[in-house]
Structure 1
Amino acid sequence: MSLPQPVPPSWKDLGKSSNDLLGKDYPFQGASLEVKTNTPSGVTFKAAGNRDSRSEAIVGDIEAKWSDRKHGLTVTQTWTTANILRSQVELENQIAKGLKLDVSTSLTPDKGAKSALLNAVYKQSGFHTRAVLDVFKGPTFTADTVLGRDGFLVGAEAAYNVTEGNVTRYAAAVGYNAPEYAITIHGLNNLKTFSASYYHRVSPDVEAGAKAVYDSKSTHGGVALEVGAKAYLDSAAFVKAKINNAGVIALGYTQSLRPGVKASFGLALDTQKLNDASPAGPSHKVGVNLVFDS
């Protein structure tokens, strides 16, 4: 008798360990602040703002989320400084175990722009699938599925334009997940872009990863490569570093100042332009991110 298989990751989470290692905790684009609070009635408020160091543009949003865990219901409302109103209603494990339904909408009143997505996610042992209907764009129907067994993963995604009656996008992926490492290979953009990612938890305090991307339609050709590592200094702090084949080095440092207060600092250096004195200014970047979570 075979053992029950765990639920595999969703399509968008294939290669997540490597993507998080190389993409998160590097706040070198500017200064950002995030504040989260919780009320006794179960409502969570989040206010976030970011100032881009290059354009000096300041953007932000405020979000309110209410959850009824007993009935699997979650309602989220967001209002951004671009005057975009977003709403999301989620219902999980009520109609059937493992089934999650949600409706996501957005509205820009001054421009009249609107969108609506109907989502359905179903997951069981060894199986994770999702279907999305974009009501106003197309309409376009997108479906993806990931199958998993004994650590091996196989996934595929396809988008179908209902009005035009044709497949507009398709992709596929294979991978292997183990407790200490993960390998994922993607074929994206109608199998014209290929990526391979690798993640390894070397020890409880050290993680390493790499990602290579090849675009067959790229004008300059070649493979884009990025490698990085993360090391925990103690239970409240860690450092991260990565470098790509363009010679850009990124450093990140995250420190928990106290329970609910976290600060992250990021620095990016273009090693090919260390002495750049062009009128456009240096290509180096620095930033900070503060998070307050009550």
Structure 2
Amino acid sequence: MSLPQPVPPSWKDLGKSSNDLLGKDFPLNGVALEVKTATPSNVSFKVGGNRDTKSTLIGGDIEAKFFNKPHGLVFTQTWTTSNVLKTQVEIDNQIAKGVKLDLQTSLTPDTGSKTALFTTTYKQPGLHTRAFLDIFKGPTFTADTVVGRDGFLVGAEASYNVTDAKITKYAAAIGYSAPEYAVTLHGLGNLTTFAASYYHRVNSDVEAGAKAVYDTRSSTAGAVALEVGTKVYLDSAAFLKAKINNSGILALGYTQNLRPGVRANFGLALDTQRLNDTTSSVAAHKVGASFTFEG
């Protein structure tokens, strides 16, 4: 008798452990601030802002989210400094167990530009499938499915343009996931770009990962982009991350929980091939920070 199968990750979360290790907690392009608060009446607020070092532009948004857990409803409203109004409505486990409905819309009053994306998600042991309908673009119908059994994962994605009556993109992935490690291979962009990722939790204090990407359309024949990184927990309140790619870019990230609800994150990127270039090395290096306050 086989063991009960867990719900596999969604298509977008295949290789998530490696992607998070190599992509998160490296604030390199300026200074960001995020403040989160919650009320007793099931409403939470989030205010975020960032200043880009290169453009010196400051952007931000304010978000309000209402939760109605008995009815599986989440309503989110966001207003950005670019004057974009975003609305999201989520209904989970109401129509049937494992079914989630999600409508995301955006409106730019200045230009009249608008988007609407309707998503249906269905989850059950061994299966995670989603369907998207982009109402104003195409309209385009996109579906993805991940099937999992005993740690092995197989997934696929395809988009269909209703107006043109043709498939506009497709992709596939295979992988294996265990508590201590995960391996994933993606074929993206109509199987023109291939990515392999690896994640390993060495022990309770150390994580390691790597990712290689090969683009068959690249002008550099046979070139593979490679990135490796690690995460080390210094104590229960701080960790250090480091990664380097085959272009010689070394990135460091340090995160410290100053107190409950207050977190500081600092990042530094160095072009190791231009350390002694006194004329242009300043532009090659990046530094940044982010601060999060949560009540």
Q: Which residue of 2 aligns with 1:286?
A: 287
Contact 1:276 1:282 in 2 (8 A): no
Q: Which residue of 2 aligns with 1:93?
A: 93
Q: Which residue of 2 aligns with 1:269?
A: 270
The alignment partner of 1:47 has SS state of: strand
Provide the TM-score with structure 1 as the length reference: 0.99
> Are 1:246 and 2:258 counterparts?
no
Q: Which residue of 2 aligns with 1:215?
A: 215
Q: Which residue of 1 aligns with 2:45?
A: 45
The Cα of 1:202 is off from its aligned counterpart by 0.1
> 1 CA distance for matches of 2:68 and 2:283?
50
Q: Which residue of 1 aligns with 2:171?
A: 171
The Cα of 1:3 is off from its aligned counterpart by 1.4
> 2 CA distance for matches of 1:177 and 1:288?
32
1:234-288 Cα distance to aligned partner (Å, 9 max, x none): 0000000000000000000000000000000000000111123346942100000
Q: Which range is displaced more, 273-282 or 17-26?
A: 273-282
Provide the TM-score with structure 2 as the length reference: 0.98
**1:174 corresponds to which letter in structure 2?**
I
The alignment partner of 2:50 has SS state of: strand
Contact 2:266 2:288 in 1 (8 A): yes
Q: Which residue of 1 aligns with 2:199?
A: 199
> 2 CA distance for matches of 1:65 and 1:220?
46
**2:45 corresponds to which letter in structure 1?**
F
> 1 CA distance for matches of 2:280 and 2:201?
43
The Cα of 1:115 is off from its aligned counterpart by 0.3
Contact 1:209 1:228 in 2 (8 A): yes
Unaligned runs of 5+ in 1: none
**Identity between Structure 1 and Structure 2 (%):** 70
Contact 1:61 1:80 in 2 (8 A): yes
1:1-31 Cα distance to aligned partner (Å, 9 max, x none): 2111000000000000000000000001110
> 1 CA distance for matches of 2:278 and 2:166?
51
> 2 CA distance for matches of 1:220 and 1:135?
38
> Are 1:19 and 2:19 counterparts?
yes
Contact 2:274 2:281 in 1 (8 A): no
The Cα of 1:172 is off from its aligned counterpart by 0.0
**2:167 corresponds to which letter in structure 1?**
V
Q: Which residue of 1 aligns with 2:149?
A: 149
**2:156 corresponds to which letter in structure 1?**
A
The alignment partner of 1:17 has SS state of: helix
Q: Which residue of 1 aligns with 2:105?
A: 105
Q: Which range is displaced more, 206-215 or 51-60?
A: 51-60
1:193-215 Cα distance to aligned partner (Å, 9 max, x none): 00000000000010000000000
> 2 CA distance for matches of 1:132 and 1:189?
18
**1:261 corresponds to which letter in structure 2?**
V
Deviating above 3 A after TM superposition, structure 1's stretches of 4 or more consecutive aligned residues are: 277-281
> 1 CA distance for matches of 2:136 and 2:3?
44
Q: Which residue of 1 aligns with 2:3?
A: 3
> Are 1:228 and 2:234 counterparts?
no
The alignment partner of 1:185 has SS state of: strand
1:96-124 Cα distance to aligned partner (Å, 9 max, x none): 00000011000001011100001000000
Contact 2:176 2:182 in 1 (8 A): yes
The alignment partner of 1:282 has SS state of: helix
Q: Which range is displaced more, 51-60 or 179-188?
A: 51-60
Against the structure 1 CA distance between its residues 226 and 280, is the aligned structure 2 distance closer, same or farther, given a 3 Å change threshold?
closer
Contact 1:273 1:282 in 2 (8 A): no
